[in-house]
Amino acid sequence: DADVTQTPRNRITKTGKRIMLECSQTKGHDRMYWYRQDPGLGLRLIYYSFDVKDINKGEISDGYSVSRQAQAKFSLSLESAIPNQTALYFCATSDSQAGSLSGNTIYFGEGSWLTVV
Amino acid sequence: AQKVTQAQTEISVVEKEDVTLDCVYETRDTTYYLFWYKQPPSGELVFLIRRNSFDEQNEISGRYSWNFQKSTSSFNFTITASQVVDSAVYFCALIVYNAGGTSYGKLTFGQGTILTVHP
């Protein structure tokens, strides 16, 4: 099983609808992230959370909101989806313990393909 | 601001050829990590390697090797004896840290290099 699980993996939704992408992790990491990938634009950070009470906007947060329900869960919502939010969305996690072997490495989920029509 | 440049948009090789993917980065910070990720056609992002700014040792893992040179701000990735399964998009990425060791949380990615290995 994947350490970082995203649901749904694929979704087609209509303009104006609310959609939530969920992410859960079993890695025990304190930090979680949402990125979006667009052709030609690479990956861009939407929101990140360093712990349950610490949520920060990334470079493209407009039109999105997040919720960190628990250390292991971080969901991304599009309150009113629009076509230019069609993209591949990635949840990611990292361990803030710099001294650990995996410290500060960002691990990605399998991605969620979202199409807004 | 940080920047990562992967000048090679696409590379096409025949199986068993060696191939090097170039990555050049820009940052004014002295503490940072560099990464390579692989994105196969199925879409997931697979972590390959992490290197911190104080460790310029080259690394080899099987057919993969990485050459980190701070003098030229480069972190190149070589696949020896390429295989069809190596076909993917490869991303180089950078994350910076402040003096206290806290990251700003933002990975800066290059645009990716599409590698196609033909049988």
Is B44 at the interface with chain A, CB within 8 A?
A: yes
User: Which of A33, A98, A110 lies at the smallest CB-CB distance from B105?
Assistant: A33
Task: Say yes or no for a CB contact (<8 Å) between A40 and B35.
Answer: no
- Chain B partners within 8 Å of A110 (Cβ): 42-44
Which chain A residue has its CA at the smallest distance from B92's CA? A42
How confident is residue B53, by pLDDT bands cut at 50, 70 and 90?
confident
Q: What is the pLDDT of residues A12-66, one digit of tens each?
A: 999 999 999 999 999 898 889 999 999 777 789 999 998 899 999 998 999 999 9
How far apart CA A95 and CA A105 sit, in angstroms, is 7
How far apart CA B36 and CA B79 sit, in angstroms, is 12
Please indicate whether residue A96 or residue B66 has the higher confidence score (pLDDT). B66
pLDDT of A99 over the 60 cut = no
Q: What is the pLDDT of residues B15-37, one digit of tens each?
A: 999 999 999 999 988 888 899 99
Q: Is B101 left (phi over 0), alpha (psi -120 to 50) or beta?
A: left
Task: Say yes or no for a CB contact (<8 Å) between B101 and A98.
Answer: yes
